[in-house]
Chains A and B, each alone.
Chain A
Amino acid sequence: MKVTVDPDKCQGHNRCYALAPELFDVDDYGYASAKGDGTVPPELADKARLAAANCPELAITIDET
């Protein structure tokens, strides 16, 4: 599984960081990006889905493969 954040959609809500800090970084302006190459360890898969399901800008994409 991989997560990506669309920088054109992200408005810095930081919801992903608040719910899944293991998977996302935010910069000083609040804009989010996936940590590393976005690979999600199996034990964090639910957290990744939770982050995506809480983004008001629909900026997070999950590739389940």
Chain B
Amino acid sequence: MTGAPVSDWTTDYDIFDPDYVVDPTPVWDDLRSTCPIAHTDRWGGSWLPTTYADVSAIAHDVEHFSSREITVVPPPEDDIGPGGLAIPVPPIDCDPPVHTWARRVLLPWFSHRRVDEYEPITRDLCNRLIDGFIESGHADAAADYAQQIPARVIALTLGVPGDMADTFTGWVRDVLEFAHDEQRRNAGRDAIALYLMEKMEERRDEPGDDLISVLLHTEVEGEPIPDIHVLGTAALTLIAGVDTTWSGIGSAMWHLATHDDDRRRLVAEPELMPTAIEELLRAYSPVTMARIVTDDITVDGCPMKAGDRVLMNFPAANRDPAAFDLPDEVHLDRAVNRHLAFGVGIHRCAGSNLARMELTVAVQEWLRRIPEFRLADGALVTWAGGQVRGPRTLPVVFP
């Protein structure tokens, strides 16, 4: 069931309700005080925990909560990509023991050492983007800036041309933002798979210094990594590295455009940047993942059945007053901040170092060159929600 207005958020929530997408915090606050784990039959049915304690406990209980499906909307029943292949996205959709080695081969690609190499390139990219609009006195901080950064950075990891960035962004939006539109979602899945299969064939014989080449030539316990696994991990890197970071950067830009005091403080006190970035990640966490219940279990009084979907509501956990003082206020120097923007437990976002670097550099370079800016008069800010929440249009002026 979908489309009808929500009459009771405890039993019939809709993660795509237009008002909820724009600002979900009032719903979370109500649920937390009345029914901390809500349920709905919409979008295939799911549970929605809203407290930090429940979200963290579920994330750590990998015995009862499987990652075999992590999308907030169930995939189509017949989820077969090009060549008749069901394409996994390891390690995000794996449980131990496969998860353990699948994650281990991926993590070094997002280590501090490697991310540090990408920082000057990212800084240069941000400045070139700003060069493109600074003279005009206005920009769409989401579409012209935030959206342009992550696809070009992740292209470095995959060793593919940065000029594919807009194409990548389109495909990733198809599979994440429009996942509830089966035709569009499947078209995006197939385009990503076919593109990466082609790159795999190129690199099988002529490997380069990129994730695809190295995975193709890596052995785990004496066996090569299966092609379908390499394809899936490359697809995950592309999908998870684009929409998420772009949404995080866009939300940070939205906050700075609408909160003059915070923006001016960050310009005046750049040493606040590390805590400020974590605080913006907390307050505007973009990502919700899902888990599937493996065995019947009662959580916080809710009888969850095997096969049920649970939405890992990291954004709501990060607004829980039991875990954060004044959670709906942004404090750029917040000292106690165990936020879950990148998840928690064994599925902690593998790319979190890269995302943090991109977010930091994007905010630093914008503020260095455009310290004063605000929403354009009558600006229509639009938001996407569901799996990933963030602004899609953010018109700002800096006269």
Contact = CB atoms under 8 A, between A and B. Distances in A.
B107 A12 contact: yes
**Which 10 A-B residue pairings sit nearest by Cβ, starting from the closest?**
A53-B336, A11-B348, A28-B108, A29-B107, A28-B111, A56-B338, A56-B344, A54-B337, A19-B274, A14-B353
B204 interface: no
Interface of B: 56, 104, 107-108, 110-113, 274-275, 278, 335-340, 342, 344-346, 348, 352-353, 356
A53 B337 contact: yes
B348 A13 contact: yes
A58 B352 CA distance: 18
A55 B335 CA distance: 11
Contacts of A50: 275, 335
A57 interface: yes
Interface in A24-58: 26-30, 49-50, 53-58
B346 to A, nearest CB: 6
B160 to A, nearest CB: 23
A55 B339 CA distance: 8
B345 A11 contact: yes
Given A13-B348, A30-B353, A54 B111 contact: no
Given A15-B278, A26-B111, A54 B356 contact: no
Contacts of A49: 335
B272 to A, nearest CB: 12
Interface string A1-15: 000000000011111
A26 B344 CA distance: 17
Contacts of A28: 107-108, 111, 113
Contacts of B340: 56
A17 B112 contact: yes
Contacts of A15: 278
Contacts of B336: 53-54
Interface residues of A, number: 21
B108 A29 contact: yes
A30 B338 contact: no
Nearest to B109: A28
Contacts of A27: 111
A22 to B, nearest CB: 12
Nearest to A12: B348
Contacts of B345: 11, 57
Contacts of A19: 274-275, 278
A44 to B, nearest CB: 14
A14 B281 CA distance: 14
A53 B348 CA distance: 18
A26 B338 contact: no
A28 B274 CA distance: 21
Given A13-B352, A53-B337, A54-B278, 18 more contacts: A11-B344, A11-B348, A12-B348, A13-B342, A13-B348, A15-B278, A18-B274, A18-B356, A28-B107, A29-B107, A29-B108, A30-B110, A30-B112, A49-B335, A54-B336, A56-B340, A56-B344, A58-B338
Contacts of B275: 19, 50
A47 to B, nearest CB: 10
A58 B107 CA distance: 21
Nearest to A13: B348
Nearest to B115: A14
